[in-house]
Amino acid sequence: MLRKPCKQLEFQHLNPMSLIVQKYGGTSVGDVDRIKQVARRVKETHDAGNQVVVVVSARSGVTNDLIARAKALNPTPDEREMDMLLAVGEQETIALTAMALHALGVPAVSRTGTQAGILTDPAHTRARIKHISGGDIQAQLDAGKVVILAGFQGHAPDGQITTLGRGGSDLSAIAIAAALQADLCQICTDVDGVYTADPRLVPDAQKLDEIAYEEMLELASSGSKVMQSRAVEFAQKFKVIFEVRSSFNHHPGTIVKEEAASMEDVVVSGVALDKNQAKIVVSDLPDRPGTAAKLFNALAAADISVDMIVQNIGRDSKANMTFTVPQDDIYRAEKVVATSFPDEASGKLFEANHIAKVSVVGVGMRSHSGVAAKLFEALADAGINIQLVSTSEIKISVGIEPKDAETAARVVHAAFGLGATD
Ligand code: ASP
Ligand code: MG
């Protein structure tokens, strides 16, 4: 059973004059034609009598290019200068979007993060928002203008430009929506919404009408990256209901909001696949207090984030520890193991392989049993071997051979009835 559509209802209650925040990502403002198209959509919303704040990203590829140039000049660029550089991408698109709106006869004005009073901590390239004054945005809206806000940027207490981490324009949009108490926040992107699985891998994946913040976060951490996770966390904290929708068509998207009782009827709302995991097995560890602490402290000190962990004790009273790390960190993780356990007697690296992680996510798992059994059975029927398992309240993940990943996603999706049109 799919969740009941609710958005039409919610959106019908919008006042004739509502304050709407629309965020357009890098692909949506990727070139001059796309910017024109965004301007036309913004004009429609504005013509309907709404106040509109538009948050834009840099054109797609621009931030990556800027980073590459910085690194070509200096492998460890100064972070303050990095932010000075990266903020340029969004500053280009706000001005161009304002000009495109002017060409359509829409009064519009651009604002940088600093001009919008987005105050952050001083942690350059990954700053956290501390406060938003909004600058003169409300006054500009009241004067009938569309305000175009640069995503991804703010300023530290000492006035220096900061950026909010990759994908940070999502956070800018959610945060300004919270600060202005917007009636609606739309994250306009290159997909139609949040799906039950990646439609490129699972052809009968369905768009979800609604999803809980927590599910969205678990799906993101399991490989379905639709939005910056920090933005979703911020929305959850400040109860900003938002919609993920396409910037290329007018189909309703997915509403992301607090968990509702009706959501519990659906046991699994989505299947996620992460093909960039590596599994590391350390064997012959001494079975005594402090062994795990030593290993995971060393990994934490190397800034390697560990996902699944399994430990078991053999009959010889030696422990085996299996854990997963992002694939990019596999060599660094191997090095940490080798230096933490330098001699064979104290533990040794037994295996380090790439694996894929398939996860099922749903708030309904809290109140339903048998989810793990159904997941394992679906994989068994497809002859797929499970190497490790981890669970949370609303997620079960399995580590499997990368070659089985896509089949696994499909059979699991089908087993939980997610492809049914109902
Ligand atoms: N331009 C920034 C990035 O590429 C921010 C964003 O796109 O949201 O990460
Ligand atoms: Mg982006």
Which ligand 1 atom sits nearest the alpha carbon of residue 169?
A: 8
CA dihedral 363, 218, 220, 194 (to 10 degrees): 0
Average pLDDT in the chain:
93
Nearest-CA residue for ligand 1 atom 8 is 167
pLDDT of residue 5: 39
Which ligand 1 atom sits nearest the alpha carbon of residue 166?
A: 9
pLDDT of 2 > 80? The answer is no
**Residue 86 Cα, ligand 2 centroid: separation in angstroms?**
13
- Give the residues surrounding ligand 1 with Cβ less than 6 Å away: 26, 57-58, 63, 89, 151-152, 166-170
Q: Which ligand is nearest to the CA of 172?
A: 1
pLDDT of 88 > 70? The answer is yes
Determine the angle formed by the axes of helices 330-340 and 291-301, rounding to 10 degrees.
Answer: 130
CA dihedral 43, 49, 53, 57 (to 10 degrees): -30
Nearest-CA residue for ligand 1 atom 6 is 167
Chain-centre distance for alpha carbon 408: 22
pLDDT of 422 > 70? The answer is no
pLDDT of residue 1: 37
- Of 94, 166, 172, 229, the residue with max ligand 1 atoms within 8 A of its CB, to mutate for a pocket test, comes to 166
**Residue 145 Cα, ligand 1 centroid: separation in angstroms?**
25
Comparing 38-42, 222-226, 317-321, 400-404, which segment has the lowest mean pLDDT? 222-226
For the chain, report the end-to-end CA distance as a whole number of angstroms.
Answer: 6
Q: Which ligand is nearest to the CA of 64?
A: 1
Count CB-CB contacts under 10 A for residue 142.
10
Query: In the numeric block, which tokens belong to residue 5?
Result: 């559509």
**Residue 57 Cα, ligand 2 centroid: separation in angstroms?**
6
pLDDT of residue 320: 93
Measured at the CA of 146, the angle between CA 144 and CA 148, to 5 degrees, comes to 150
Q: What is the pLDDT of residues 215-263, one digit of tens each?
A: 999 998 887 788 999 999 999 999 999 999 999 999 999 999 999 888 8
**Stretch 397-405: mean pLDDT:** 97
Which ligand 1 atom sits nearest the alpha carbon of residue 172?
A: 8
Residues around ion ligand 2, judged by CB within 5 A, are: 25-26, 57
Comparing 156-160, 185-189, 343-347, which segment has the lowest mean pLDDT? 343-347
pLDDT of 286 > 50? The answer is yes
Residue with tokens 């049993």: 369
pLDDT of residue 220: 84
Between 81 and 6, the more confident residue is 81
* Banded pLDDT at 330 (limits 50, 70, 90): very high
Q: What is the pLDDT of residues 43-75, one digit of tens each?
A: 999 999 999 999 999 999 999 999 999 999 999
**Residue 189 Cα, ligand 1 centroid: separation in angstroms?**
12
Which ligand 1 atom sits nearest the alpha carbon of residue 165?
A: 9
Nearest-CA residue for ligand 1 atom 5 is 167
Nearest-CA residue for ligand 1 atom 4 is 63
